[in-house]
Amino acid sequence: MIITRPIRVGCSGIARLVSAKRLHSHLTSSSSDELSHFNELAKTWWDVSGPQRILHKMNLLRMDFIQEMLRSYVPIPPETDIYVPGYSLDLLPSEISQQIVHEQETYRDEQLKQANLRALDIGCGGGILTESLARLNYIKSVVGVDLSPGVLEAASFHKLLDPITERKITYELKPVDQVQEKYDVVTMMEMLEHVDYPAEVLIQALDKVEVGGWLFLSTINRDLISYFTTILVAEHLIGIVPKGTHSFDKYINSKELVDWIGKRPGFEVVSVRGCMYVPFKGWVFCGDGTTGNYLAAVRRLS
């Protein structure tokens, strides 16, 4: 795999999004010094008490977000007796409303199970999210793609340890623009802040989403809080993330992202949610995603 490093375009955020050019198909993913950096991380990827503990913990929140979005979009048909408009649910006695919620959730389980979704995890790394997706009983298969042979090897090895992941996951060493098919669930976590041409990568990712399907992504706002938590504290002060993992000018504000996606026909940004790491507690959701790290859910309507 040859990755030529492009000439840096000296701008950031929205400017970086719109000015990105398709210079070379391989340029659409990570730049080379970042790749070698992730190779280093691969070895210890799966030790949940090790250096990747924060990432493992962050995965919990990602999964909560993905589950919430997918489940909430399973409609409860109005003609069934478990259909209750949201506001009246609160008016019912708690025992009855609990029972109704239980039946609604059971209904959603059944619907989702029949959906047999296919997922694509872009920038899958060691496979932490890939494996989690694969274990959901309504996901039929997951393809994980990444550009680092090292982490993919670790991921491929690790998936064999569990019959479920062994059966459902395929890892492929390729950039996103070489993925041919479309998927019901596409994920791209903590990737945009590491690439030189995020708009290109986003276009590619959106292109892989099946009509009615989802793109879940997470990245970081370009603000003081992000600088403080991800670079100053995480990399330099407490060292939970190796130095050089992030570069500030690559961060994209959630508003820029929402505006940009909103201009693309057929896509809707369903939710943007902020999240932060609280020592001794782990990752928690916070705010509307305009500061620090955030998750976004995008749906393809047509």
Partner 1 sequence: MSMIFRRALASVSTKSVEPKVVDVLIVGGGPAGLTLSAALKNSRITRDLNIQLVEGFKLDGVKSFYEETPELLTNRVSSLTPQSVEFLQRIGAWKFIRQERVQPYDGMVVTEGLSDARLSFDHPEIATMCENVNLQSSLYQRIKELESQTAEGEAFGLDIKDDTKVTSITKDESNDWPIVHLSNGESIKTRLLVGADGFNSPVRKFSGIESRGWFYNRFGTVATVKLEYAPFVSCAWQRFLPTGPIALLPMPDDNATMVWSTTPELSELLTKVEPELFVSLANAAFLLNNVDMEYYYQCLRKDETEGLVDDIQWRIDHMTQKFTEEELDEKFPVKIISVQDKSRARFPLRLSHADTYVADRIALVGDAAHTTHPLAGQGLNMGQGDVQALVNALEQGITRGLDIGNLLVLEPFWADRYPENNLLLGVVDKLHKLYACTSEPIVALRSFGLNAVNQLTLLKDFMIGHVSGK
List binding-site positions: 62, 123, 146, 189-190, 193-194
Alpha helices, DSSP H only, in 119-168? 128-135, 149-159, 163-168
Shortest CB 166 distance to partner 1, Å = 8
**In b/e form, how buried is each residue of 1-32, taking b as 16+ CB within 10 angstroms?**
eebeeeeeeeebbbebbeebeeeeebbbbbbe
Q: Which is nearer to partner 1, 142 or 298 (CB)?
A: 142
**Tokens matching residue 267:** 């896509």
Q: Which is nearer to partner 1, 190 or 256 (CB)?
A: 190
Rounded CA gap, 74 and 111, in Å? 7
Shortest CB 118 distance to partner 1, Å = 15
Annotated binding site for Mg(2+): 190, 193-194
Binding site for partner 1 (CB under 8 A): 48-49, 56-57, 59-60, 63-64, 67, 102, 105-106, 109, 131-137, 149, 152-153, 156-157, 160-163, 171
Q: Which is nearer to partner 1, 34 or 131 (CB)?
A: 131
For residue 82, the tally of other CB atoms under 10 A from its CB is 15
Shortest CB 295 distance to partner 1, Å = 14
Look-up of token digits 């500030």: 248
Shortest CB 22 distance to partner 1, Å = 29
Q: Which is nearer to partner 1, 68 or 223 (CB)?
A: 68
Shortest CB 133 distance to partner 1, Å = 6
Q: Which is nearer to partner 1, 251 or 277 (CB)?
A: 277
Annotated binding site for S-adenosyl-L-methionine: 62, 123, 146, 189
Q: From start to end of the chain, where are the E strands?
A: 117-122, 139-146, 169-173, 183-189, 209-220, 267-278, 282-285, 293-300
Burial (0-12, 13-18, 19+ Cβ within 10 Å), 140: middle
